Amino acid sequence: MTTDCINTRRKRLIRKWPSDIRLNSSSVFIGSCSSKFGVFQGQLKDLIFLPGADASVRTCPPRIPHHTHMDNSLPAHPDIFRQNSPGPRWEDCTWMDVGNIAYDLHANSLKVCVNGIWQHVTLNLQAPSPKLPKRLDYLEFYKDLKTPGPSIDVEVFRIEGEGLFCVLASSRGRRKKKDVSVMYKWTAGEFVPYQRIPTDAAQCWEHFTIGSNFFLAVANYGDNSADPTNSTIYKWNRRKKRFKEFQSIITWTARDFEYFEIDNDHFLAVANHARGRSQSVDSIIYKWNRKERRFREHQVIPTVGAYDWTYFTVNNFHFLAVAQAFDGLTTLLDSKIFVLQNNEFIFFQAIETTGATDWEFFSIKEDSFLVVANAYNYGPQNFMNKNQYQTNSTVYRLDKDRRVFKKFQTFKTYSAIDWEFFSIENDHYLVVSNAQNSNIEQDLQTAIYRWQGADKFVLVHEMFTLPNSDWEIFEEDGDVYFLYSNAKGRTSQIYKAVFTF
């Protein structure tokens, strides 16, 4: 048997073939997926039925060249098709055929007709290879990242001229050692500790630049809701190549700092979670004062158990969404979206959420979406306290005519406290965290969904990870990495994207 006109296998048959086989009205299996007939793997491109045992000799290009110009024969089409074939024949390399290209099966090379001679095409390996569209296939484990304690948030950022960094909001058990977050620098393919920054039950790190200055702000939860805490803004010191304390802001169990820029004005919004016994507490938007070179209070927005601010723009309108997680009684309450008008954020829309901890905004083509991470189902609506971490998390799409976000797609999530949207080439993805990893099986899985147009987001990948609270994606040296913070332990992890082409 000859396959691909190259490989020949010989086997003596016990019986004469096909003398004792009825060929009339018989079925012949060429390739079958059923293991009964031997599994066929590969690609069958052409099938020709020819009588006679010399079929391969007649259809395949001859092994021995019969052209004086060449050391390898190159009939692009076997003899039997010659009459009706319009394509080039291997003899056809005259001065009129200059530039014709054909593939020499036996020499396994591409040849071009130059002045009556088929010549090997030498590929210039220095030339950039054509860029093929790549598609995320799966994630593979890359490296562990040790932190001083469980971490709720990670921020990845670049400092021009210095490199790639990340900082994790870690906190250790209280009353032990002093709390600290560690900033890491990407060195030789891994994050190595770079600077230790004192924190107080850090919840969120936010990196931003103002002019040519680099800042890092930490939202500190503090010890308890009865006392205020200092949350701190650090500024990069060029000479010492370290972040130095720059300004501290009084916060109440702060959960999040959100930086945004509008028309060259710089803002920092803090999500205050609770004050004393009440979840109702003012969250504050700070604005950069150019003269004083400090952030100053700009607007106060009353919030209830605020967990996250998310800033986004749609058609030059500026929005802020707040995720409200708990009102003291139940996690089932409204989260709110505000829109900027005359320098103030005003109420735009309320959306009912269940222990909301994160909003993620993203756009696909002309459409704008918001997805909420609903983390915890607690309150009268779940008085049996059943599957508290099992919730529905929903994607909303902005109806631009009616100016309202409408329910678009709902996912079953398990202790979801973070959504991260990312795009690779033309594909769009959502990864959702899973912060508990408790008893139920789904609870061990972190899921990735891919945008598939009319099918919306479709689950394409599930990973058994450690409990994770925040996902960040970054690119370095052409590779795509995923870094998640471990909500419950001291080992956060980096994964690497594997692509199909």
Residue that the structure tokens 């890092």 belong to: 216
Asked if 86 contacts 100 with a C-beta cutoff of 8 angstroms, the reply is no
Tell me the C-alpha distance between 362 and 313, whole Å: 10
Q: Which is nearer to Ca ion, 74 or 271 (CB)?
A: 271
Dihedral of alpha carbons 69, 70, 71, 73, sign: negative
Tell me the C-alpha distance between 419 and 411, whole Å: 12
Q: Which is nearer to Ca ion, 118 or 396 (CB)?
A: 396
Q: Extract the tokens encoding 53.
A: 């045992």
Q: Show Cβ contacts of residue 88 under 8 Å, excluding neighbours closer than 6 positions.
A: 76, 97, 100, 102, 113
Q: How far is the CB of 289 from Ca ion (least distance, A)?
A: 22
Residue that the structure tokens 């990735």 belong to: 448
Dihedral of alpha carbons 149, 155, 160, 164, sign: positive
Q: Which is nearer to Ca ion, 93 or 217 (CB)?
A: 217
Amino acid, single-letter form, for residue 415:
S
Side by side, the strands of the sheet bearing 344-354 are: 306-314, 317-324, 332-341, 344-354
SS (H, E, C) 138-172: EEEEEEEEECCCCEEEEEEEEECCCEEEEEEEECC
Q: Which is nearer to Ca ion, 90 or 345 (CB)?
A: 345
Cβ neighbours of 73 (radius 10 Å): 19
Tell me the C-alpha distance between 158 and 471, whole Å: 17
Q: Which is nearer to Ca ion, 371 or 398 (CB)?
A: 371
Strands 202-210 and 213-220: antiparallel
Q: How far is the CB of 169 from Ca ion (least distance, A)?
A: 8
Tell me the C-alpha distance between 65 and 381, whole Å: 83
Residue that the structure tokens 């071009």 belong to: 112
Q: Which is nearer to Ca ion, 348 or 359 (CB)?
A: 359
Q: Which is nearer to Ca ion, 104 or 258 (CB)?
A: 258
Partners of 248 in beta bridges: 232
Q: Which is nearer to Ca ion, 104 or 418 (CB)?
A: 418
Q: How far is the CB of 190 from Ca ion (least distance, A)?
A: 20
Q: How far is the CB of 360 from Ca ion (least distance, A)?
A: 4
Q: How far is the CB of 245 from Ca ion (least distance, A)?
A: 21
The DSSP 8-state label assigned to residue 75 in this structure reads -
Q: Which is nearer to Ca ion, 65 or 467 (CB)?
A: 467
3-state helix, strand, coil in the chain (%, to 5): 5, 55, 40
Q: How far is the CB of 485 from Ca ion (least distance, A)?
A: 8
Q: Which is nearer to Ca ion, 433 or 437 (CB)?
A: 433
Residue with nearest beta carbon to Ca ion: 258
Binding residues for Ca ion (CB under 5 A)? 153, 256, 258, 308-309, 358, 360, 418, 420, 470
Q: How far is the CB of 124 from Ca ion (least distance, A)?
A: 44
Tell me the C-alpha distance between 410 and 395, whole Å: 6
Tell me the C-alpha distance between 109 and 57, whole Å: 21
Tell me the C-alpha distance between 354 and 237, whole Å: 42
3-state secondary structure of 367: strand
Tell me the C-alpha distance between 294 and 332, whole Å: 37
Q: How far is the CB of 186 from Ca ion (least distance, A)?
A: 17
Q: How far is the CB of 225 from Ca ion (least distance, A)?
A: 20
Amino acid, single-letter form, for residue 340:
L
The DSSP 8-state label assigned to residue 443 in this structure reads G
Q: Which is nearer to Ca ion, 437 or 469 (CB)?
A: 469
Q: Which is nearer to Ca ion, 267 or 309 (CB)?
A: 309
Q: Which is nearer to Ca ion, 194 or 309 (CB)?
A: 309
Q: How far is the CB of 341 from Ca ion (least distance, A)?
A: 22
Q: How far is the CB of 81 from Ca ion (least distance, A)?
A: 60
Q: Is 107 buried (19+), middle (13-18) or exposed (0-12) by CB count in 10 A?
A: middle
Q: How far is the CB of 259 from Ca ion (least distance, A)?
A: 9
Q: How far is the CB of 309 from Ca ion (least distance, A)?
A: 5
Dihedral of alpha carbons 351, 354, 356, 360, sign: negative
